[in-house]
A and B are shown apart, each in its own frame.
Chain A
Amino acid sequence: MKGRILALGLLVLAVPPWGELAAAPPSADTAQIEAAARQGSVRALLELARIRTNLRDGAGAVEALRRALELAPNSEEVLSAYSRLSLTLRTPVPAILSLEPLVRMHPTVPEYPYLLGVAWLQAGDMAAAGEMLGRAERLRAAVATAPGGGSPSRATILVALGIALNKQKRFAEARQALEKSLRLEPDNVEGLAAVAEAQEGLGELAAAERHARRALARADAHATANLVVGMILMKQERYAEARAALEKAIAAEPESPKAHYQLSLACARLGDREASTRHVELYRQALRDVDERLRALRRQVDPAEGGSSP
């Protein structure tokens, strides 16, 4: 599917586009839109947010959408725009806070639990992500017709679900979801890399390597695929090759604790104590960072710890 590609560290998932304009409107039009927005037109505020998004003015776009939310707090279009912009800007908390009501108010639309799942993935809560993506998948499966504009394909949802399950080490379930996604989109790089990770977790090394290499044939810097190949090479005691693969994984995903840990092992096996120690420390730091980030996010998302509405 076409859409803004959102980098989530290890994860690269498609988020339906929001804010794209074919061309920037003339400045006279923009002035009119701004005037209408000042007078409380939500339609104009949405347009203004689109213009600012196009101009890469994220803060300005967010501000316009916040005003729109004040005027039309239940509007699906406004909530949806706000959540997607938040995801694009990698600010999962406001995304989550605007997606939760959308999921509740529009329970038959698979896009919203999908986006909420992606937001939870961004936030680092894999269990919450898995739950939402599972719901999105069930809804998507129930819709016989092809998805409309902006709606994620079933394969996309299944890949995200598989990633969330992998992160929870629920490899068998992850593999099942990812194999389904590959039947629908056999060349999906994210799907290939994620199924490789699941298979590696299940000890199916040959299949894991085959899938990881297929992913690398399409995207040779892919973090997960390189990580999987690195781990398989470690098991084959091919430490130098493993090191190279793991270094690629870290280059694409510097904050991956798993990659640092594996690389520390590879360096140790190769006798490079200094690098090994450095990566052990980076691994610990990455874990601390993840933990701290999650705690900070929880504080913001969960009002029980001081959060607020969008």
Chain B
Amino acid sequence: MTKSVPQAALLAIPLLGILAAPAPSAAVNPAAAMQRAIAEAEASLQVDEVQIADSRYRDALLEGWLLMGAIEVAQGDLPAARSAFERAAAAAVETRRAVTSLALVELHLGEAAAAASRLRELLARLPQSVDVRQLLAQALVAAGLPGEAIQELEEARLVAPEDPELAFTLATAYLREDKVEAAAALFAEVGVARPIPETWVLIGRTFRDFRHYEHARAALHGALEMNPQVLRAHYYLGSLELLAEGRANLDEAIGHFDRELAVAPDDSLTHLYRGMALVEARRFDEAQPSLRRASAAEPPQADAFLYLGRSHLALGQTAEAMAALRRALELAAAAAKAHDRQLESIHYQLAVALRDSGARDDAAIHFAAAQSYSERLTRSDRDRLAQYLGDELEAPAAEVVLPPIDVSVLGGLAPPRLRELRQEVTTALARVYHNLGVVQVQARRFARAADFFAQTAEIAPGFPQVYYSLGVARFNAGQHAAAVEPLTRALAGTPGDADLRRMLALAHLNAEVYAEAAELLADDPERAANPSLQYAYGMALVRSGRAAAAQPIFDELVARHGQWPELHVLLGQAHAQQGDYPAAISALEQALRLAPGVAEASSTLGGIYMRQGKLAQAEEALRAEIASHPDDLRARYHLATVLDLNRQPKEATDLLRGVLEARPEHADARYLLGKILLAGGSPEEAAEQLEAAAQMAPEDPNIHYQLGQAYQRLGRAELAQRQFETFRELKDKARGSGP
């Protein structure tokens, strides 16, 4: 069975390549690498080296997002850190630091499998990287795959057979899998490679953590032979005596703690264990100085107060005992991982202290609490401390303790400075995205520019003119609908900007939101002098159903620009909208005389003929439009309608599929396709199309009727019935007789 991962052993695993390796100057200024990259980019732009600038800006993004991730880690916001590291990983060609940081964050977020997968991918790129492989091994352990972890570490050893840290990690992994002899052999190699007493202390501690006490004792004595003053050797030997033998060796343990304190008199942990051992040995007076020292240490530990309380209680100092035990309870309750034995003990001792002070009711409460914990435990007074320490060491059993995420690049900045730095980095990143956008604009790649400006807006919505830049880029990229929102925001900031207002109007117009376009253009001061604008305004009026209002505008335009074919097209559309087909046809034919291929003239004629029932003429006109403008989806849709009426379903179907390819949300095309398929004996596919159409246009009764028919053909009577009911409801509603 796999052993748990003792905390101490994991802490011994060397910190791997995490986050930005801090350059010497970065210790002074964490943002130095990012700032340097920005400066180089801007210098390159000065000499027209756009490619170098692009590359350096990308470096700046990498460094900036790495730094941002570190800041988020320092502020305890791991999801935000993950997001920052994800952006870092997509910033530049180099991915190593970002991906390892990302994997570490995922490990801390409990997403070990995702971290392992990410690290495997990175390792495929960097097979020689021992650090990455070691981190992968840790992720695999955390993911519950210790066997695979060993495999990775053994492979890493092939790459770096001389690396003592790797050998140590592998030996620890062997211990986890109970391969003690293999571990011992590797530890021996580590001892040879690093022949200092501290190495053997570390090895001794690791053996102790995995409960191989004889190996631990030998290693720790070996360390003391090399240097009797070596730190922590006696401390671990003392804890070993407690763990291995229980109460019988309390005196031996106390002796080790005393010797440890002789070389490290301020070590609070040794004071704590010494005090605990002395309490268990009932040497309460002697215990108190050490326990006072331990309870004054930061961060405060519940155990120090518990044992201090016990010593006070034993010495009849009830008030002091109660104070210490209440503090112990407070700390244990706040701790993430208080264990039952500790809580039982605190409650019990506090109950005794309360009872002794006469507070019997309060005492009863704590006795009951102690009892509830006690029932979960198999109590044995003889080796209570050993069990107690065993619990301490077993605490991480349920969760693997992970290597910390290194934020040393921040140089221990205080929270206010961290917040300032976060703001600085955000501003710098926003500037980089903005400048990358400007570079794209200069290359006339507006869609790409818009992507960068959108990132600027996302991370720094207050960045100067960001919505203006984003809106203009999207407009120029032909993304008119998407341009509306940023242009609207930009206009809200500068309501007097006539050019911006005009661009917003045109964005609405191109996005086929005609009423808004007309409203914005209505008061445009340049409209009277600018025929294009006047034309746009007229079009907006016509297409928002205000053809009558457009009439004087067209009259004036025709008077001045009679040779302008598009104008006649629009005029024809205005007439058609008002039902004046002869005038419409006349205007459209004039447009075609002026420019035979002018857009929308033939398709508008086709629409008029269709409404007049002249299907052959409609077909001819619509085909002419498609010949001149193959991308005209409206003409294709109308031609499909005509072909359907003319009983040519095959071509109509092909046309509609093409329309839906380009505009999957075209509900009318989907409806017509469904109807044709149903008539052609394909009710299943028809139902699919009609279901999609019904989702897009739920208020269209005809779709529900056809869908009902399709369900009926498929034998789905209940569904069919429901559709027919919806059809009737919508029809009633349209007639005004609905509820």
Indicate whether A and B interact.
yes
Q: Which of B51, B125, B661 contacts A43, CB < 8 Å?
A: B51
User: Cβ of B598 < 8 Å from any Cβ of A?
Assistant: no
| A105–B92 CB distance below 8 A | yes
Residues of A within 8 A of B414 (CB): none
Taking CB atoms, residues of chain A closer than 8 Å to B55 are 71-75, 78
Inter-subunit contact A72/B90 (CB<8 Å):
no
- A-facing residues in B57-101 (Cβ within 8 Å): 58-59, 89-93, 95
Give which listed residue, B49, B59, B123, contacts A304 with CB less than 8 A.
B123
Among B386-394, B444-452, B529-537, the stretch in contact with A = B444-452
Contacts of A101 in B (CB 8 A): 92-93
Instruction: Tell me whether B600 is interfacial, beta carbon within 8 Å.
Output: no
Q: How far is the CA of A106 from the CA of B95 in the complex (A)?
A: 14
Question: When A74-B59, A183-B654 are in contact, do A303 and B125 touch as well, CB less than 8 Å?
Answer: yes
Q: Does B54 contact A (CB under 8 A)?
A: yes
B127 at the interface (CB under 8 A from A): yes
Contact residues, A168-198 vs B (CB, 8 A): 180, 183-184
CA distance A41 to B51 in the complex (A): 9
Whether the pair B477, A77 counts as a contact (CB closer than 8 A) is no
Q: Distance in Å from the Cβ of A82 to the closest Cβ of chain B? A: 12
Interface residues in A65-118 by Cβ distance below 8 A to B read 68, 71-79, 101, 104-109
Which of B126, B477, B657 is in CB contact (< 8 Å) with A145?
B477
| Docked CA distance A302–B95 (Å) | 16
A304 to B122, CA, bound (A): 10
The 8 A CB mask of A136-149 against B (1 = contact, 0 = none) is: 00000001111010
Indicate whether A42 reaches chain B with its CB closer than 8 angstroms: yes
- Compute how far the CA of A77 lies from the CA of B54 in the bound complex, rounded to whole angstroms: 9
CA distance A108 to B448 in the complex (A): 8
Contacts of B90 in A (CB 8 A): 104-105, 107
Q: How far is the CA of A78 from the CA of B56 in the complex (A)?
A: 13
- The closest CB in chain B to the CB of A68 belongs to B51
Tell me if A46 and B58 are in contact (CB < 8 A): no
List the A side residues contacting B124 at CB < 8 Å. 302-304
Tell me the minimal C-beta distance from A143 to chain B in angstroms: 8
Which B residues are in CB contact (< 8 Å) with A184?
Answer: 658, 661
Chain A residue numbers with a CB within 8 Å of B50 are 43, 77
Inside 8 A of B59's CB, which chain A residues have their CB? 74
Chain B: interface residue count, which band?
20 to 34
Q: How far is the CA of A302 from the CA of B127 in the complex (A)?
A: 9
A104 to B445, CA, bound (A): 19
B-side contacts of A148, CB under 8 Å: 445, 447
CA distance in complex: A108, B90 (Å): 12
A145 touches B49 (CB 8 A): no
Whole-angstrom distance between the Cβ of B202 and the nearest chain A Cβ: 32
Q: Is the CB of A43 within 8 A of B448?
A: no
Given A104-B90, A145-B478, A303-B124: A77 touches B51 (CB 8 Å cut-off): yes
In the complex the two chains form, is A72's CB within 8 Å of B51's CB? yes
**Please, which residue of chain A has its CB at the minimum distance from the CB of B48?**
A43
Residue of A nearest to B477 (CB): A145
B52 near A: Cβ within 8 Å?
yes
Question: Is the pair A74, B127 in contact by a Cβ cutoff of 8 Å?
Answer: no
Q: A79 — which chain B residues lie within 8 A by C-beta?
A: 93
B586 within 8 A of A: no
Cα A302 to Cα B123 with chains together (Å)? 10
Q: Which residues of chain A are within 8 angstroms of B126 by Cβ–Cβ distance? A: 303
Q: Contact between B479 and A74 (Cβ–Cβ < 8 Å)?
A: no
**B92 contacts across to A, CB distance below 8 A:** 73-74, 101, 105
- Within the complex, what minimum Cβ distance (angstroms) separates A305 from chain B? 8
List the B side residues contacting A76 at CB < 8 Å.
Answer: 54
Residues of A within 8 A of B123 (CB): 304
Give the distance in Å from the alpha carbon of A210 to the alpha carbon of B277 in the complex: 92
Residues on A with C-beta less than 8 A from B49 are 41-43
CA gap between A68 and B54 in the complex, in Å: 13
- Is A304 touching B127 in the complex (CB atoms < 8 A)? yes
Cα distance A145–B474 in the bound complex, in angstroms = 12
Contact B48 A74 (CB under 8 A): no
Assembly CA distance A56 to B510 (angstroms): 46
CB proximity to B under 8 Å, residues A122-167: 143-146, 148
A168 to B89, CA, bound (A): 31
From A42, A105, A180, A183, B52 is in contact (CB under 8 Å) with: A42
Known: A101-B93, A108-B451, A304-B124. A180 touches B661 (CB 8 A): yes
Question: Do B661 and A183 have beta carbons less than 8 Å apart?
Answer: yes
Known: A105-B92, A145-B447. Contact between A75 and B658, CB under 8 A?
Answer: no
Instruction: Name the distance in Å between A210's Cβ and chain B's nearest Cβ.
Output: 15
For A42, list chain B residues within 8 Å (CB).
Answer: 49, 51-52
Interface string of B504-526 (1 = CB under 8 A from A): 00000000000000000000000
Cα(A108)–Cα(B93), bound, Å = 17
Question: Bound state CA distance, A309 and B479, in angstroms?
Answer: 37
Please report the C-alpha to C-alpha distance between residue A79 and residue B54 in the assembled complex, in whole angstroms.
Answer: 11
Most central of A68, A79, A144 by chain B CB within 10 Å: A144
Contact of A183 among B58, B89, B95, B657 (CB under 8 A): B657
- Which residues of the partner chain B approach A144 to less than 8 Å between Cβ atoms? 478-479, 662
Distance in angstroms from A112 CB to nearest chain B CB is 12
Would you give the 0/1 interface string for B90-130, flagging 1 where the beta carbon is closer than 8 Å to chain A?
Answer: 11110100000000000000000000000000011111000
| B interface residues, Cβ below 8 angstroms from A | 48-52, 54-56, 58-59, 89-93, 95, 123-127, 445, 447-448, 451, 477-479, 631, 654, 657-658, 661-662
23 A-B contacts (beta carbon < 8 Å):
A42-B52, A43-B50, A71-B52, A72-B51, A72-B54, A72-B55, A73-B92, A74-B55, A74-B56, A74-B92, A78-B55, A104-B95, A105-B58, A105-B90, A106-B448, A107-B90, A143-B447, A144-B479, A145-B479, A148-B447, A184-B661, A303-B125, A304-B124
Identify the 4 closest CB pairs spanning chains A and B, nearest first. Answer: A74-B58, A72-B55, A75-B51, A74-B55
